[in-house]
Amino acid sequence: MSELKTLRELMDHYVANHDYGLRQTTIDMWLKPGVSKFEKWLERPALIDDLTAINVNSFIDWLKKITSSSAMIKGRRGPVLMLLRYAQEMQIAPPQNGRIRKVRVQRNIPTGWRVEEVQKLLETCLAQDVRTKSPDAQKGHHMSRIHNHLSSGPRVGLMLAGIVSVAWDTTLRLGDILAMKWSDVEFDSQGTARAHIVMSKTGYLQSVTISKETIEILRQIEAAMDGPTKLLLPWPYRREKLYDWVRCYVREAGIRKGTLKFLRSGSASAAEKLERGAGKSALGHRSDWISAAHYLDPSIVGIKDIARPSLFAKDPVNEKD
């Protein structure tokens, strides 16, 4: 493999020869950014000969200076370390002298909106008389044809109400919610909708239920559209515009500041509070750890007692309540 000289050539070789294949999102969002950051630290294109323990440790020290996020540091360290080990397996990397410094990620406690907060946000979105200031008003323009209306017809608040209610019912990520089509939905005799969604991030199949009240909101959005649409929630602008409006309505509702991830976390946490393991199922996760570490808000789920024998009983092993 003497023809491989640069780190990017090594990266391409790794991707092309991976045993199971890599998702394009893994390549674009993890592998390439790590290599780019390493090259930014070097201030030149990286060579395979640059893959040494001293360089990688210096790279980690540089990352600590420019960012306070331990998760970001670990995310940029990972691809470089992986390519170093890959080059060593191919016997094209220089001998490693010393150990690569580890990075411990400081986990934040997951936070979600409580059901009372989501209800308040939904009421604010549905209120006809709410006229929230346009996010672009201070710039002297806005993208809406009519103030507080989308260019496609519906009120901004009505569209956000649909997003909020579908997110709460399904616990899906925003991208999967905005991609849902009417053809994905099947209705039962009670008016409840069910759908089977392949989640874009994981590729897992997730079965979801949408309440008849949420369907009624979606029908209002459909009726307000200027033309026919196949999507449940046809948001006409970029995601950044949606985030701006969400912040406006969160402020108007008077609830805790948060992002749409607070909806996903809150929905999963509420399900977990009702039944142990339901949060993981609602999220579509295969791992209990990922759900607990990143989504299940302990202040919503509550502390669940773990049964164990009492130290103060005469016969702890055979003690019966």
Q: Are residues 130 and 171 in the same domain?
A: yes
Average pLDDT over residues 116-141: 73
pLDDT digits (tens, 9 = 90+) for 8-66: 999 999 999 998 888 898 999 999 999 999 999 999 999 999 999 999 999 999 999 99
Domain presence at residue 110: no
Are 160 and 244 found together in one domain? yes
Q: Average pLDDT, whole number, for the chain?
A: 88
Based on the number of CB atoms within 10 Å of its own CB, is 26 exposed (0-12), middle (13-18) or buried (19 or more)?
Answer: middle
Q: Please check whether residues 224 and 178 belong to one and the same domain.
A: yes
Task: Give the range of the structural domain holding residue 296, as residue numbers without chain letter.
Answer: 115-301
3-state SS class at 124: helix
> What's the pTM?
0.69
Query: In the chain, pLDDT over 90 holds for what percent of residues?
Result: 65
Q: What is the pLDDT of residue 309?
A: 85
How far is it, in rounded angstroms, from Cα 3 to Cα 12? 13
Residues 77 and 185 in one domain: no
Is residue 28 a part of any domain in this protein? yes
Residue 315 in domain: no
The predicted structure's pLDDT at residue 107: 77
- Residue 316 falls inside a structural domain: no
Q: Is residue 278 part of a domain?
A: yes
The verdict on 290 and 152 lying in the same domain is yes
Tokens encoding 9: 């050539």
* Chain segment 267-311, per-residue pLDDT in tens: 999 999 999 999 999 999 998 889 998 899 999 998 777 788 888
Residues 80 and 159 in one domain: no
Residues 22 and 151 in one domain: no
The verdict on 77 and 200 lying in the same domain is no
Out of 89, 124, 141, a domain closes at 89
pLDDT one-digit tens code per residue, 139-179: 444 444 346 888 889 999 999 999 999 999 999 999 999 99
DSSP string, 64-99: HHH---HHHHHHHHHHHHHHHHHHHHTT-SPPP-S-
| 167, 220: one domain | yes
The whole-number pLDDT of residue 139 equals: 47
Token pair, residue 258, equals: 């948060």
* Count of the separate structural domains present in the chain: 2
Question: What mean pLDDT do residues 66-95 have?
Answer: 89
Is residue 313 in some structural domain?
A: no
Instruction: Say if 126 falls within a structural domain.
Output: yes
What is the token pair recorded at 191? 């008016």
CA distance 295 to 270: 11
In this structure, what is the dihedral angle of CA atoms 207, 210, 212, 213, given to the nearest 10 degrees? 170
Looking at residue 204, which CATH number applies to its domain? 1.10.443.10
